[in-house]
Structure 1
């Protein structure tokens, strides 16, 4: 058993990776993305937090959140998002017979991996690095050639805020912008 301990800082800013069970590409279906967004909005309403960045890929997603000043319970929020999406996804259907005894014992379905990755951000430079990672992730996974081509990302919001140029990381006009390879994050992002 791992000795990993999560860091819980009230009002902290956190990076998360949530992965589907066996990397099943549930979010290749836009209807499931709508359900996921509904689940996130419901939890955000019940337990407020600020989403700084996000990307939804077919088999995993990344978030950057800041919690309210006196709150550090991101684990409950993630659990509620997973449960809410699973309920929307499955409806009233029972668990398939393929769900293991262990997963049934822990009241888990075959939608999400059991745990999630978390990294507590320490400063503004880390925020920039992780935002860049999130926004470049669809390119990294070969889903699109440029960040602006991926619809399910906070990239477009950050462009509207003038924090990114619309051609950041873009090769559309034949001029590639040098992007970090993110090797220093490999132990923190859960991919």
Structure 2
């Protein structure tokens, strides 16, 4: 099996995307948010990380995680999180260990696709853009008409902390946000945090912690 090399940059902040193996019509993540929420802190005990923003959709999730200084091993963390979720799902529902993804490839972490997407946050502008992308994602996928109406999002923590107004992005053009246009700059305002070299000073955990 081909092993994909991933870029290593210790002590920085990353944007991640994880998908279920079978995405069409699959609502597993929002149906079993209890198992998902249990997996993250379980792994965090021995493998620390932060969660600065997150959103859980029925068939995939996005999040921004800062890692400790000198640590770049996000693959181990995600492997343990996915395995914990699948193992406990199997105990509850008899879910099969091997699930076929869209390409017909057996997955090693039960419900999940084997691979995941990662992006190194480069600077403050990149950070703001990805936080906006995360909070807008349920609207972009048609699951809700308003960001505030999606319960599985760190957006609500941002509202409680006074970072976002409750009506954030209500008047934003969808295509312009996802393309990073001028509306994106207005909609994705965020309180500055230090990005490069160290984890962000303020964490905004959503549904995953």
TM-score when scaled to structure 2? Answer: 0.75
Aligned to 1:26: 28
Aligned to 2:169: 169
State how many pairs are aligned. Answer: 174
Q: Measure, in 1, the Cα distance between the counterparts of 2:35 and 2:149.
A: 22
1:181 aligned onto 2:183: no
Per the alignment, do residues 160 and 22 of structure 1 end up closer, same or farther by CA in structure 2, a change over 3 Å counting?
A: same
| CA displacement, residues 108-161 of structure 1 (integer Å, 9 cap, x when unaligned) | 43x111100000110011010000000000100111111111110000111122
Residue aligning to 1:16? 16
State the distance in 2 between where 1:96 and 1:65 align: 27
CA distance in 1, matches of 2:113, 2:74: 17
1:7 is displaced (CA, Å) by: 1.8
Q: Which residue is 1:152 aligned to?
A: 152
1:3 Cα offset (Å)? 9.5
SS in 2 for 1:145: coil
State how far apart, in whole Å, the 2-side matches of 1:98 and 1:127 are: 34
SS of residue matched to 1:83: helix
Shift of 1:56: 0.3
Q: State the secondary structure of the residue aligned to 1:91.
A: helix
Which segments of 5 or more consecutive residues in structure 2 lack a partner in the other structure? 181-209
Contact 2:22 2:100 in 1 (8 A): no
Aligned-residue RMSD, C-alpha:
2.6
Instruction: Give the match for residue 119 of structure 1.
Output: 119
SS at match of 2:52: strand
Residues 3 and 144 of structure 1, relative CA distance in 2, 3 Å threshold: same
Report the Cα offset of residue 96 of structure 1.
6.3
* Cα offset, 1:178, TM superposition: 4.6
Equivalent position of 1:48 in the other structure: 48
Greater relative contact order structure (CA < 8 Å, 6+ sep): 2
User: Structure 1 residues 90 and 145 mapped into 2: Cα distance closer, same or farther (>3 Å)?
Assistant: same
CA distance in 1, matches of 2:91, 2:62: 25
For 2:61, the equivalent position in structure 1 comes to: 61
Provide the rounded CA distance (Å) in 1 between the counterparts of 2:51 and 2:30: 22
Instruction: Look up the SS of the partner of 1:17 in the other structure.
Output: strand
Partner residue, 1:173: none
